[in-house]
Structure 1
Amino acid sequence: MARITVEDCVEKVPSRFELVMLAAQRARDVSAGAPLSLDRDNDKNPVVALREIADSTIDLDHLRYEMIHGLRRHVDAPDEPDDLAQELEALMPSRPLESATGDDELPEGMNFGDDDVMEDED
């Protein structure tokens, strides 16, 4: 088993902070079931991640994207409509308003009988 050092990885990722972040992301991916690009050799996931980075067997740009996507807490929402009335018109089909006076006739087959009316029990 070859020993991996940070100096081996810094050649591929110059920033040590970014190296740690990328290795941690890769270790999480491996823990979640991502396929390994190297033999495990009885190493733990963080060591395997560092070995993969040092040997350039994984795509660092894809790993950066996954890392940034995983750390995002705020996702940009689509633009809100400027006018609430326009949004309501788009959601509700336009139809004529019904009269609230009760003068309208009931549709055919509908009627109110005496047993349908609730009475006050005063």
Structure 2
Amino acid sequence: MARVTVEDCIDKVENRFELVLIASHRARMISAGSQIMVDRDNDKNPVVSLREIAESRLAPEDLKEDFIHSLQKHVEVDEPEAEAVPALIPPNDGLRSDAIGDIQFDRMTEEDLLRGLEGLVPPAETEDDGD
């Protein structure tokens, strides 16, 4: 096929700099294994991408959107905001309130902890544990 020039593509993408950006992005997509929309004819990927744009096989707006998306590091997702749940005041069973910020801690003596640990049963051995 005849040579493709910027003038062949300028009616599809008016800004030459934008044309270079989206054509190079498309060439990278082709290198990564994307399906080619025109015959290759021993052309390299940048020429194939320009030919695709010149022959209107791809929409320049779609390429531009895809290029912008590929550059984004953080993509915002529109998710519904969580509804505020009213705070519940826990009962004061075994909890003490400290003076700093009214933070509550569960208090347990060392003897209570040891009694709790003594009541634990070791896990039963299985056939796999014997190996």
Asked if Structure 1 and Structure 2 have the same fold, meaning a TM-score greater than 0.5 normalized by the shorter chain, the answer is yes
Moved over 6 A (4+): none
Corresponding residue of 1:15: 15
Equivalent position to 2:109, from 95, 101, 119: 101
**Closer/same/farther in 2, CA of residues 77 and 9 from structure 1, 3 Å limit:** closer
SS at match of 2:33: coil
Task: Point out where structure 1 has 5 or more consecutive residues left out of the alignment.
Answer: 79-85, 87-95, 111-122
SS at match of 2:110: coil
Within 5 A, what are the aligned runs for 1:21-100? 21-75=21-75, 98-100=106-108
> 1 or 2, which has the higher strand percentage?
2
User: What is the TM-score normalised by the length of structure 2?
Assistant: 0.62
Deviations 1:61-111 (A, max 9, x none): 221111111222455599xxxxxxx9xxxxxxxxx754233252623634x
Identity of paired residues, percent?
51
SS at match of 2:112: coil
Task: Point out where structure 2 has 5 or more consecutive residues left out of the alignment.
Answer: 79-84, 86-94, 96-104, 121-131
SS at match of 1:34: coil
- Which has the higher relative contact order, 1 or 2, with Cα contacts under 8 A spaced 6 or more apart? 1
User: What is the CA RMSD across the aligned residues, in angstroms?
Assistant: 2.9
Instruction: Give the total of aligned pairs.
Output: 96
